[in-house]
Amino acid sequence: MGAGLGQLQLTLPSGRSQRYALPQDVVILDETYNAGLESMLAALELLADTPGQRRIAVLGTMKELGDRSLEFHQQVGERVAKLQLDALLTLAEPAEAAILAQGAAHVHTRAFGDGASLSQYLTTWVKPGDRLLFKASRAVALDRVVDQFRQDWPSERP
């Protein structure tokens, strides 16, 4: 028998991080308020250290990176692969989504063009015991995906 939610110890970075425990032992690490390279890499480490069935990174574009945007997004994808996360789902500009996926070679990846389709996919694809990290620059509005997913997540699976 796995650890119950009462035994789960998570330490989120200071700031506006949120942790949500949903029915069926699904945990959301919500860091949708901002994203730079260092904070993105630190959040991925946190996800990797969070016990659960699957560890899923739901990432959006890191904005305002200038000429190094693609390089930094590739580094994030490479960290996803290095940490052996179970999946990378992206809500990003097409170029950034592609380079994230390229960096995360051999990890299940899927890109979404809008938050509604991402939220709908999560509701059907996430399984009990999963751990999800949501992280993006505020302008991506990934927080809306978190809110919609939390609203739509069933208390029980049929």
Mean pLDDT of 124-128: 95
Domain range list for the chain: 17-152
Q: From CA 113, how far away is CA 150, in angstroms rounded?
A: 20
> Per-residue DSSP letters for 54-88?
-EEEEEE---S-GGGHHHHHHHHHHHHHHTT-SEE
Mean pLDDT, the chain, integer: 87
Q: Quickly name the fold that domain 17-152 has.
A: Protein-Tyrosine Phosphatase; Chain A (3.90.190)
**DSSP state, residue 156:** S
Give the model confidence (pLDDT) of 59-102 as tens digits.
Answer: 998 877 778 889 999 999 999 999 999 999 999 889 999 999 99
Mean pLDDT of 39-67: 91
Confidence of residue 126 (pLDDT cuts 50, 70, 90): very high
Confidence of residue 4 (pLDDT cuts 50, 70, 90): very low
> How many residues comprise the chain?
158
SS3 (DSSP) at 128? coil
Higher-confidence residue: 39 or 130? 130
Mean pLDDT of 6-22: 61
Rounded-to-5 percentages of helix, strand, coil across the chain: 45, 20, 35
